[in-house]
Structure 1
Amino acid sequence: MSYLQKISEFQNISVTPTSYDDHRIKGDISLERETDTLKFHLIFSYSDRIEADQNLAGLVLAMPAINFTLFSKKLTLNFPASKSDVSAISEFVRINNREVFINKLARRRYEFFRQEYVPRDEDITEENSNGNTLVSATSQYVDTPRKIQGGSNAVLSSGGKESLLSYGMLKEIDPETHAFYFNESGGHWLTAKTAYDYYSAEFSNVHKVWSNVDRFYRYVLRNMRILDQRVMNMKTDTYPVQLFIFPVYVMSMIPVAIEHGIRGAVLGDEFDDPSDMQPFHGIMHYYGIYDQTLDFNRYMSGYLHSKGIDFTVWSAVYPITGGVVENILIKRYPDLFRLQRSCHSCRSVNGKIVPCGKCSKCLGILMFVLSAGGDPHQILYSTESIENLKENVSRERMRLDTDELNYMKAKLGFIEADDMDRLQHVSGMHLLPDEHQLFQHVPDAYRDGIMKIISPVCATFILLYRRGMAPIRKTVILPSSRLPGCCMRNIPQGAPCSP
């Protein structure tokens, strides 16, 4: 038996829309095994009117199912789907299969899978990582152009620092900016509730969709035989399988966008150091964050455009690190900073939503806030969490880029860094290897405004330069005082700027 045959728990995963109207999309997900079938009724309920047909309803319902396709021989779309739909979903399946194979099965953080299903070294091949899931549709759909009337964007909003800063900047540039909240039915909503309640009271154009998608994930995970259910009961800071999260949010936004004239989704994709992203056993992958990358934004945008939906997915913060994001949020948008709840283990205490202060997410936030001169008490961290930060960081497997973690530790006096000059890039704006100008992937209408907000805070402008497949080289270009004059100039392809 081949490795892929061994982990193919499902014969077929099928997605069937059952109803849709101007406020709801509902459908059934069936995961068929040789001996039984798992069935779940998935619901998306919107606070505002939406526009959808059977095709769009099916696409919204299909996104969560992609999380489990590595373990299925087929994914069947039981709704009218176009050639663009089948092609794009097939590519999403291939990419996500690889991400799950590499980051959940091979270089795993926790032992969620029973040992007999963990790949041996000889099983870690590109062919196995891609999976063998066949995507098909039961009927053909012909895409027709849908002109979205309007020019504003919607920030995919939560209690995270990136979404709060993105909303603050876009609202400053365009007062008609929308906010879109995805309300999962479980406790994860607590991270966003503080911000949502404030936005709803203070701002217009605030939208929300409620979904039981988190219950769908739990239902499938609890019934997967290849998972170790004892480990599933442990408290962890990562999901056992799910890595295709943001596409669910983005696709669920499209019915709102068409109805309310929203031209784009702004995601909080902060800078991820590409020099940390090395191949695993020679296999290129995204370290489990494909749906938070420029590649995803570009592909999803191109796919939607190919369907005739004039909608673009982009990020306003992709060239800057979490520390820079936090710094700007604290100093420019203090009211929004106070809404920040980045912990996924938040709890309600005396009517207020409080972070745990101990998980890897909280430890990173505490480092960012203190480094920026902020007060963690303002976002309800306890004095104990602040005082124990150094000790807790030393014990935790932190989920920050290597340079970012060492820079923060050195800045807070946790370690002595001999290479602090090299680490200074963490406080700057980054020009990615495929870019010829800073913030190249931000729409023209927003680029100058965003740069005027960000550039005064950044210490440096850093070119990430790669020749062929050589390692990334970081070159500090200019001090921030000269940034505005340099930002808009083109940089010759394949050549670094001169200091």
Structure 2
Amino acid sequence: REIVFHGKYDNADRRFLHSMAENTAREIYVMKLLQPNPFLTGKVAQLKPQAQKHYLNAELVFPDSASKSASPSWETDRNRHAILSSGGKDSLLSYGLLNELGREVHSIFGNESGRHWFTALNAYRHFRDHIPFTGRVWMNSDRVFAWMLRQLPFIRPDFASLRSDEYPIRLWTVAVFIFGVLPLLRRRGIARVIIGDEYDTTWRAALGNIPHYNGLYDQSIYFDSALTRYYQQKGWGLTQFSLLRQLSELLIMTILVKRYPDLQAHQVSCHASHKEGERVYPCGKCEKCRRIVGMLSAVDADPTRCGYTPAQIDHCLRSLAEKGVHQESAGATHLRWMLAEQARLSLPEKVRKTLRPHPEIVNLRFHPDRSPAETLPEDLREPLFRIFLEHAEGA
């Protein structure tokens, strides 16, 4: 029941770790233990919601802690931007935007030791060979996660062979990547770290009287704010934010494929990508694939440019008609409406009649909590919003 941290952890470190551990424990309880989860076995799969004063059972122990930070302040340059890069549409678009604005952009890839790295491989090789300041940090976090799962008696022993769009227990991977790349950011004097997150990744919800973030905390504006506060307390002069908070997923896809098609060609957004020769290809079967194919088709773009075959495209559109996609409700409905209007989806007539457009999905959205204009540094706001409004219908 103890987690022991060896090293010179100061007051800011200890507060940060306590806060994150408590938050993560509550979120795993709600999202992984109380929701339907095919990886669970035994009594844990039948748990009932029960509000607690604290959800973290372990005591965090810091035997070598210090009261003040032992790390010196960083020297940073506000023009230097690091993008936490993955080969997905959000980081590709973030690079395209900052590069167009003439900023110094460092695309830093977190190289997991397992198959998850496949999703980033096409983009990484292109950036490594053609784009300055590209970096890569190797990390074995996926091996640690797999080892931990084998220690949990309530997780199915065949978890590795079970096909699912969800992870068995873990939720936050962004934090692992962020702390993995921090030494490189310090060495390069980077002042801004960019995370690719859109409008619908900031949620506050409740299961009964248990508050939670819908499993999206590390993609939320609250996470960016918490990390920025921590960096400032440490004297690192680093801020963390997303360029895309005012955009829906559909708008992100639209701007990327229309404005930066050469970047979009390297996109891999798939839970089960695979290698053929030197290139990585999407599986064409998972929820992410049908979402990407659906959005590309809806904006009259060609999914074959990023690796989908005609047969996979047909399968994804049929699956989208049957199963839908994991997006905000308005976004999923608007996507189906667009595809139905273009006769790309085969839907029963009574279903088609219920579909309605949701124009907010193709507009910039400014929300005082989720997506205020102030999430962006002042020097980036006007040029970015001008670009966005060339592709959005309004705001």
The alignment's TM-score, normalised by the length of structure 2, stands at: 0.92
- Aligned-partner Cα distance in 2 for 1:460–1:404: 16
| Cα displacement string for residues 377-416 of structure 1 (whole angstroms, at most 9, x for unaligned residues) | 1011110122223321244363211111111001000453
**Do residues 448 (structure 1) and 376 (structure 2) align?**
no
**Do residues 286 (structure 1) and 213 (structure 2) align?**
yes
| Pair 126,433 (structure 1): closer, same or farther in 2 beyond 3 Å | farther
The within-5 A match list for 1:372-383 is 372-383=299-310
DSSP-derived class of the 1:265 partner: strand
- Aligned-partner Cα distance in 2 for 1:384–1:191: 21
**Do residues 429 (structure 1) and 364 (structure 2) align?**
yes
Deviation at 1:238, TM superposition (A): 1.2
- Aligned-partner Cα distance in 2 for 1:133–1:429: 43
Which of 130, 135, 143 is the matching residue for 2:60? 135
Which of 87, 103, 119 is the matching residue for 2:15? 87
DSSP-derived class of the 1:430 partner: coil
The within-5 A match list for 1:94-493 is 94-108=22-36, 110-118=37-45, 120-121=47-48, 123-127=49-53, 130-141=55-66, 142-143=68-69, 145-151=72-78, 152-272=80-200, 278-396=205-323, 398-413=325-340, 414=345, 416=352, 418=354, 420-421=356-357, 423-434=358-369, 438-461=372-395
- Aligned-partner Cα distance in 2 for 1:126–1:321: 35
Deviation at 1:196, TM superposition (A): 0.5
- Aligned-partner Cα distance in 1 for 2:218–2:303: 29
- Aligned-partner Cα distance in 2 for 1:330–1:225: 45
Deviation at 1:265, TM superposition (A): 1.1
Deviation at 1:273, TM superposition (A): 6.8
- Aligned-partner Cα distance in 2 for 1:179–1:425: 31
Deviation at 1:234, TM superposition (A): 0.9
DSSP-derived class of the 2:210 partner: coil
| Pair 399,419 (structure 1): closer, same or farther in 2 beyond 3 Å | closer
Deviation at 1:369, TM superposition (A): 0.7
Is residue 84–residue 303 contact of structure 1 (8 Å, CA) maintained in 2?
yes
- Aligned-partner Cα distance in 2 for 1:390–1:208: 35
- Aligned-partner Cα distance in 1 for 2:322–2:43: 30
Deviation at 1:115, TM superposition (A): 2.6
| Cα displacement string for residues 203-248 of structure 1 (whole angstroms, at most 9, x for unaligned residues) | 1111110111111111111232221214553111111111121011
Report percent identity of matched pairs: 25
- Aligned-partner Cα distance in 1 for 2:103–2:206: 43
- Aligned-partner Cα distance in 2 for 1:270–1:399: 14
Letter in 2 for 1:420: R
| Pair 233,316 (structure 1): closer, same or farther in 2 beyond 3 Å | same
Deviation at 1:119, TM superposition (A): 5.2
Letter in 1 for 2:300: G
Is residue 369–residue 376 contact of structure 1 (8 Å, CA) maintained in 2?
yes
The alignment's TM-score, normalised by the length of structure 1, stands at: 0.73
Is residue 431–residue 438 contact of structure 1 (8 Å, CA) maintained in 2?
yes
| Pair 145,305 (structure 1): closer, same or farther in 2 beyond 3 Å | farther
More displaced stretch, 327-336 vs 385-394: 385-394
Higher RCO by CA contacts (8 Å cutoff, separation 6 or greater): 2
Deviation at 1:307, TM superposition (A): 0.9
- Aligned-partner Cα distance in 2 for 1:427–1:171: 24
Deviation at 1:418, TM superposition (A): 4.7
DSSP-derived class of the 1:81 partner: coil
Residue ranges of structure 1 left out of the alignment (5+ in a row) = 1-72, 462-499
| Pair 190,231 (structure 1): closer, same or farther in 2 beyond 3 Å | closer
- Aligned-partner Cα distance in 2 for 1:288–1:198: 32
Is residue 154–residue 264 contact of structure 1 (8 Å, CA) maintained in 2?
yes
DSSP-derived class of the 2:266 partner: coil
Is residue 177–residue 205 contact of structure 1 (8 Å, CA) maintained in 2?
yes
Rg bigger for which structure? Answer: 1
DSSP-derived class of the 1:140 partner: coil
DSSP-derived class of the 1:177 partner: strand
DSSP-derived class of the 2:126 partner: helix
Partner residue in 1 for 2:348: none
Deviation at 1:360, TM superposition (A): 0.3
- Aligned-partner Cα distance in 2 for 1:348–1:273: 30
More strand by share: 1
DSSP-derived class of the 1:155 partner: strand
- Aligned-partner Cα distance in 2 for 1:223–1:174: 49
Is residue 76–residue 137 contact of structure 1 (8 Å, CA) maintained in 2?
yes
Letter in 2 for 1:459: E
DSSP-derived class of the 1:102 partner: helix
